[in-house]
Amino acid sequence: MSVLACDRVDCPHIMCQRLILQGHAYICEDCWQELLAYRSDWPATMTVAEVRERIENFMRDTPPGTFSSIRGVDIDAEFQRLTVSEP
């Protein structure tokens, strides 16, 4: 059985059944619902190319909550943690 990972950048979901972009990309249910909400704000009239471009841009955008911001000494501590090899 193959893994059907969501093709949205940094999305952690791996069992996605919905194909979009003419079968070229998988999208999970969470991202699908977000895409539908995003779609509700689009103009009433668009070209086919504009619709595709917006979907592709959405898929290149990181899902909310994927990254949490840190600053100052926390950045230094995280950098140190990730770059120092343990003996």
Question: What's the whole-model pTM score?
Answer: 0.70
DSSP state of 62: P
pLDDT in single tens digits along all 87 residues of the chain:
456 999 999 999 998 989 999 999 999 999 999 999 999 889 899 999 999 999 999 999 988 756 555 667 777 777 777 787 665
- Output the pLDDT for position 1: 44
For residue 12, how many C-alpha atoms fall within 13 Å in the half-sphere facing its CB? 4
Q: Where are the domains of the chain?
A: 18-83
Rg of the chain in Å (alpha carbons): 18
3-state helix, strand, coil in the chain (%, to 5): 40, 10, 50
Q: How many CB atoms lie within 10 A of CB 3?
A: 8
Report in angstroms the alpha-carbon separations of 1 from 15, 17, 57, 62.
Answer: 11, 13, 30, 27
